[in-house]
Amino acid sequence: MDRELPRLRADAQDNRDRILVAARALFAEGGLDVGMRTIARRAGVGPATLYRRFPTRDDLVREAFAEEMRRCRQIVVDGAADDDPWRGFRTVVHRLLALNVRNRGFVDALTAAEPARDLLAGHRQELLGMLDGLASRARAAGALRADFGLDDLVLVLRAGRGLAAAPEPTRARDAARFARLAVDAFRATDRAVEQPTGGAAGPITTPRPR
């Protein structure tokens, strides 16, 4: 009997690991709308086994994204620690979009607007606080456009979510290109761009060098 207990514990751990592997893959591919039964089938376990390991969907989502949360936090911490706030801000945008393109579900959870889907609220609040400080420094340095708000960055992350549907060989390249375009949009200019009037285009300013 004593010899059976370690084997049962090992089986339980194996089931838990397979559930997490399946959940991470399915959330990354299809976002958070993937059903629990679909995850159980991918993991090769029954629904009862899944719910024994993860009693609620929220438990599974939080555990499945634990590694992504650590990576995301490190990206923001590194950017906020940069002595050059504009360089730090640019790096954050590039690295978050690179993470974004690999995992749709994580971005769904990180940018959730609905309270019922607000699974990473504490994590997001901490990160947005650090990002707000970094953005304030970049604005004060005259590098980040004065009307930038954190909602703008969230909007870019949500838009970038669609890149995960691109063919895998081009995803990283597409994410890098999208990040460059986003950074260009966020960069301050020497003066505001004048809107075209009467059908004639007004003058366009040259962005500050990177």
CATH number, domain containing residue 52: 1.10.10.60
Kindly tell me if the per-residue pLDDT of 4 is higher than 50: no
Q: Which amino acid is at 43?
A: A
In a domain, 201, yes or no: no
Residue 198 confidence (pLDDT)? 40
Task: Read off the pLDDT band of 114 (50, 70, 90).
Answer: low
- Domain shared by 126 and 158, yes or no: yes
Q: What is the DSSP letter of 210?
A: -
Report the C-alpha gap between 103 and 97 in whole angstroms: 10
- Domain shared by 77 and 130, yes or no: yes
Query: pTM for the whole thing?
Result: 0.72
Which distant-in-sequence residues (6+ apart) come within 8 Å of 95 by Cβ?
A: 75, 79
Count of structural domains, the chain: 2
What is the span of the domain harbouring residue 129? 66-186
CATH number, domain of 94, equals 1.10.357.10
- The stretch 70-89 carries a mean pLDDT of 94
Strand partners, 207: 189
For 169, half-sphere exposure in the C-beta direction (CA atoms, 13 angstrom radius) is 0
- Domain shared by 37 and 98, yes or no: no
- Domain shared by 73 and 106, yes or no: yes
Task: Read off the pLDDT band of 140 (50, 70, 90).
Answer: very high
Q: Average pLDDT of the chain?
A: 81
pLDDT tens string 39-51: 999 999 999 999 9
